[in-house]
Amino acid sequence: MPDEPPRYSVTTPTDTTMRTLHKVLLSTLFLFPVLAVARQAEPPVAAKPTPFTTEVLANFKAWDKDSDGVLEPAELDSLVIDSHLTGKPAAAAGVLKAAQRNTKITLPPITVDYLHQYELAVAQKQKPTVNFDRPFNRAVKRISTPAREVLIGEQPTLETCHQGPLGDCYFISVVGAAVVRDPASVMRMISSTPDGSYLVTFGDGRSATVPPLTDAEMALTSSAGQNGLWLPILEKAFGSLRTEALPEEKQSESSTDAIAHGGSAAATIRLLTGHTTDRITFRPRSVRSQAKTDTPAPAPAKSDAQPTKPGAATPPPVDPALLDKHLEEALPKVREHLTASLKDRRLVAAGTPKDGTMPPGVNPSHAYAVLEFNAEADTVHLWNPHGNTFKPKGEPGLQHGYPTTGGHFWMPLNDFGHVFNGISFETEKPLEKK
């Protein structure tokens, strides 16, 4: 006999069941208005002082020298170089200074109202234009260290180096390469003077005498952590040299202003070593892309991590076929230069372009130290002065990035050519004396 179709039983709800469902429905309908009223009755979240605003608001009147209700750049400059300003207030002043000169954001006038708006945004868990408290906490920690000697330990170490809020990756990356090559040579640049200042003499013969770091300057500059103050001292001396080279109307009381908006890794190599540099670029002129634009494609940048000037035209994209063809010619030269330079312990640095797709964990418009070359594996060892740590979410490479610890990572040379703008090498040729 064929299988009978399955039989389903139908149960008719009892009157008791129906009455229960009816009560539940009515109670739910009455509950919705109650919940709505409860939500409307919740008081709005009020602004609360943050650790950062507590310090600024407590000192606002004293810091606002002209009593116009705004903390202006000149007023913050005077705070940064004030050796009597210490501790948390100095950290807050340094953080304000860093935010005010940041060209990537448009910071409103720093008024009491603006600070209260920031407090409200934090209390409501909104994302403020600038999160002042995060760098403030880091600055307080940096200032509170009892390690105020030039060098603590036997020699400078790369592991302690971290670029601060200054945009001077082009300087810190090359200093890091110099530390790896010969840490003692870095310390020989710095000597103390009887009045407590520091005389810094760079490899090209130029020198600058700078006073001891203020607490606010420690909040602004890079850090060597428990290894001492040698790194921010070098930064301050470098800033002093660049400030002296500016027209008087563009000079600032805070010497680090002069190094905060980008520069050249190649120029830093020449500064530290007194030697000339060679450069190999990875970006050819793209004939096909150039034909699609009204203006000729600009020549490749002459320096690593050189910032793009405001209003400058964005370079056209590089045609992939032309890039591959260019790299076929360029990479053999890079291998040759890397082998010779690193064998002779000469400094090498490279920079990424401002535009274009970067692998995860690799920063655009940024300078890196090149520390090693593995000819057998055809890979380069790079160091990011941010000291970041990164783990790829997939197979390491252009798509997912490269395993990075303390800023260190290895990258295939072919990938290196596709990602970076170019590479600069120290030569054995001394600079011409001016």
213, 221 in Cβ contact below 8 A?
Answer: yes
DSSP assignment of 140-165 equals HHHHT-S--SS--SSS--GGG-B--S
Tell me, yes or no, whether 258 and 292 share the same domain.
no
Tell me, yes or no, whether 246 and 353 share the same domain.
no
Q: Tell me the per-residue pLDDT of 269-294, one tens digit each, with 9 for 90 and over.
A: 999 999 999 999 998 765 334 433 33
Band (122; pLDDT cuts 50, 70, 90): very high
Question: Mean pLDDT over residues 187-203, rounded?
Answer: 95
Tell me, yes or no, whether 248 and 277 share the same domain.
no
Among 68-82, 95-109, 401-415, 420-434, which is the least confidently predicted range? 95-109
The two beta strands, 379-383 and 198-201, are: unpaired
396 or 355: which carries more pLDDT confidence?
Answer: 396
Tell me, yes or no, whether 307 and 205 share the same domain.
no
**Residue in the structure block whose two tokens are 């390491």:** 396
Specify the 3-state DSSP secondary structure of 210.
Answer: strand
Tell me, yes or no, whether 276 and 425 share the same domain.
yes
208, 241 in Cβ contact below 8 A?
Answer: yes
Bridge partners of 200, per DSSP, are: 190, 208
Res 78 pLDDT > 50 = yes
431, 204 in Cβ contact below 8 A?
Answer: yes
Which of 207, 239, 264 is a domain's end point? 264
Tell me, yes or no, whether 412 and 321 share the same domain.
yes
Query: To the nearest 5 percent, what fractions of the chain are helix, strand and coil?
Result: 40, 15, 45
Question: Mean pLDDT over residues 51-71, rounded?
Answer: 97
| Amino acid, single-letter form, for residue 290 | Q
Question: Mean pLDDT over residues 123-129, rounded?
Answer: 88
Q: Tell me the per-residue pLDDT of 82-109, one tens digit each, with 9 for 90 and over.
A: 999 999 999 999 999 999 888 778 889 9
How far apart, in whole angstroms, are the C-alpha atoms of residue 294 and residue 287?
Answer: 13
| Amino acid, single-letter form, for residue 180 | V
Tell me, yes or no, whether 299 and 207 share the same domain.
no
Q: Where are the beta strands (DSSP E) in 81-219?
A: 190-192, 198-201, 207-210
How far apart, in whole angstroms, are the C-alpha atoms of residue 180 and residue 306?
Answer: 24
Please tell me the total count of domains within the chain. Answer: 3
Tell me, yes or no, whether 297 and 377 share the same domain.
yes
How far apart, in whole angstroms, are the C-alpha atoms of residue 259 and residue 266?
Answer: 15
